[in-house]
Amino acid sequence: METHLASRSDVPPTHTVKPIEPPPASDRPTSAMLKGDIDSGRTGDKNPVFDPGLSPLGTDDEAAGTPPSPFRIMLARYSENLGRWAQGSRQAGAAHHKWDGFPVVFVGSIGIIALVLIIGIWSVRGG
């Protein structure tokens, strides 16, 4: 009897591919809400899906005894969103639909190598 890893019942389901809704506005935002903004794609940094982390956002600050104030988190949420929209109101998944330009150096190098090979072969054959 052959069992596949995907069909084993002891493997928990992965929920990282489901889109995440952005957290609502709040007078007392938390680090989890800032991470929710990032995970939902509201800031334009990544695809709008859950991104598990070994150390959730804000854990280091809390462990050091200096958790961020709600005002600082509110400022971070505002500036993250402002940065995205100041660059244009692109869709959250725009990172995967961008064009980085034509690879001029790569194509040029291939062309030069091809030209050198053609000239070399032509000169060896006595052309």
Q: Which pLDDT score, from 0 to 100, does residue 117 have?
A: 96
- The pLDDT averaged over each successive group of 10 residues in the chain (127 residues) is 56 68 87 86 76 79 88 88 66 54 84 96 86
CA distances from 112 to 6, 120, 122, 123, 125 (A): 49, 12, 15, 16, 20
For residue 35, how many other CB atoms are within 10 A of its CB? Answer: 18
Q: Which pLDDT score, from 0 to 100, does residue 92 have?
A: 47
